[in-house]
Amino acid sequence: MSTLYYYHEKFLNHLTGDGHPESPDRLLAIDSALQSASFSSLTRKAPKISPRIEELLRLNHTQALIQQNLQKPDEGQILPIDADTQLSPGSAMAAQLAVSAVCDAVDQLIAGAAENAFCAVRPPGHHAEPGRSMGFCLFNNVAIAALYALRQYALKRVAIIDFDVHHGNGTQTTFEKNPAVLFASSHEMPNYPGTGFASETGMGNIINVPLKTGTNGAELRRLYNEKIFPAVRKFKPELMLISAGFDAHKDDPLGGIQLVEADYAWLTGEIKKIAKEVCEGRIISVLEGGYQLKALANSVQAHVLALMR
């Protein structure tokens, strides 16, 4: 069974301004890294905007937020949504393609066309709340994919694992009262956005594992083995989603966690083991953070190689 790789050049047209860490260069670095012979067996897909895109967006977002994010600024203009989040003339198309990509990945995996997928999309999504875009994120790609899988295919249980260095506050907000979704997050605290305390448990379906600045791979592995992986196995999801942020790498400028490429390979391999046990291997990994280009590219290589094994 193949691994799908979603990428589109129009993701590069979401512009954030000079010096912004969430730049098009991130995807250029990733796509270049995935061109080597080691990745020749990837099934490469350029997403198309779904004819049902507004219906997909409404699964998670208010009409006011959808209208805000689908506006098209004048050419050359960058419109601030908040201090970190911007709209450019190409942002609406990029954001719709990102949502369409993750939902197409759901379709492909449920149909048995592939075992897993890596969606190299931007803008990222896990900070976007139902009614608020923030933290570089316009629409919550992973949350929409989970809600789509539940509604379109009548799945009963979906698990989301978020290993970005920042807490996925938007994803938690969406699912804290929805026991059909297990949301498990490891993230540095204190760090943006200030949520993700261990005491935030939703309906028992939210697992937050705050990490102290300086946490290394050995400690992270212990915490996942003790707190996250047993809960995911017990939950027995029918589909697993990953908010794949690579900004917990030791070289990333936006975090203080000390992971290296081998830690991402281990995390991915362990998630894949669980997926094979409980949901026929179905994993959709969706890019979130990662801002040091070499560390990002190398970490994505390790992650995708583990998905392909």
Which are the catalytic amino acids?
127
| H or E stretch covering 151 | helix 141-152
Distance between CA 281 and CA 260 in Å, rounded?
Answer: 25
283 Cβ neighbours under 8 A, 6+ residues apart:
115, 116, 117, 240, 241, 242, 271, 272, 275, 307
| Cα 171 off chain centre by | 10
Taking the CA atoms of 220, 98, 168 and 85 in sequence, report the sign of the dihedral they define.
Answer: positive
Kindly report the CA angle at 120 between 103 and 242, in degrees rounded to 5?
65
Q: From the CB of residue 35, how many other CB atoms can be counted at a distance below 10 Å?
A: 11
Q: 273, 289, 293: which is closest to 281 by C-alpha? A: 273
